[in-house]
Structures are given as C-alpha cells and as structure tokens.
C-alpha cells in the first residue's frame, strides 16, 4: 500500500515537473546559477527560443470535448463506489471524451489529484465530492 502511494506521489510530481518544464520552454531565460551551497549548486537550463508563429497564445490545448473535471465527476457519479484511474479512463472513453494529450492515462494520473469535485478516498481510488 505504501509503494502504491509513493508511486502515485511520484507520478504527480512528474506531471507537475513536465507541466512546469513546458511553461518555462516558452519563456526566454538566461542561464542562472544560484550561490553554491555546501553540498550542491542548482543550475537552470537555457530556454529554447520558439518562433512567434509556433508559440501558443498563453493557453494550453484543451480537449475538443470540453474540460476534464466535469467529465471525470460525471463518470464518478455514475458509479456509487470509488474508482481507479483506469476505470475512470474507461468511463471517459465510453462517454466520448477526447484527450488532447497523446498519453491520456498519464495525463489523467497527473491531473486527477487537483481536479475540482474529485477526492482521493484510498490508495489509487477516487470518488466525486
């Protein structure tokens, strides 16, 4: 049970890092290093300059079928017991929800912890609030 919780926390952190990395890649930055500490130094990568024609207009791509949170809540409300991410993903697919992400399960794993109307009720199990 502890391993499952740790895996979920690591997946959530990975999702946060990937989202933060995507946001910093679109902002030009210089190579900045912090003052060296006793044990290590932290360096930031230089952001790659993206031509204006290829930049988004400050918004992430959204699903063609609408926001994720209401769709997940609808799936969770259709079943009286808590559901796993895989079960929720199956319910979304059967309801016709389309993900903008090429890897929907990873996307759902990373975002489900922060979705409004959804709460974690056990290790890897979620229910509507």
**Count, residues in the chain:** 129
**33-88, pLDDT tens digit by residue?**
555 555 556 666 666 666 665 555 666 667 778 899 999 999 999 998 999 999 99
Identify which has the larger pLDDT, 25 or 63: 63
How do residues 76-128 score in pLDDT, each as one tens digit?
Answer: 999 989 999 999 999 999 999 998 889 999 999 999 999 999 999 999 999 99
Q: What pLDDT is stored for residue 16 in this prediction?
A: 87
Instruction: Kindly give, in sequence order, each residue whose CB lies less than 8 Å from that of residue 35, ignoring residues fewer than 6 positions away.
Output: none
């Amino acid at each position: 049970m502890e391993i499952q919780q740790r895996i979920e926390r690591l997946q959530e952190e990975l999702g946060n890092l990937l989202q933060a990395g995507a946001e910093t890649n679109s902002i030009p930055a210089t190579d900045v290093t912090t003052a060296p500490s006793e044990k290590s130094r932290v360096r930031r990568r230089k952001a790659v300059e993206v031509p204006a024609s290829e930049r988004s207009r400050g918004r992430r791509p959204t699903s063609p079928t609408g926001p994720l949170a209401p769709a997940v809540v609808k799936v969770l409300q259709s079943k009286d017991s808590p559901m796993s991410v895989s079960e929720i993903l199956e319910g979304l697919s059967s309801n016709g929800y389309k993900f903008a992400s090429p890897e929907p399960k990873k996307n759902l794993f990373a975002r489900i912890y922060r979705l409004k109307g959804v709460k974690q009720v056990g290790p890897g199990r979620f229910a509507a609030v």
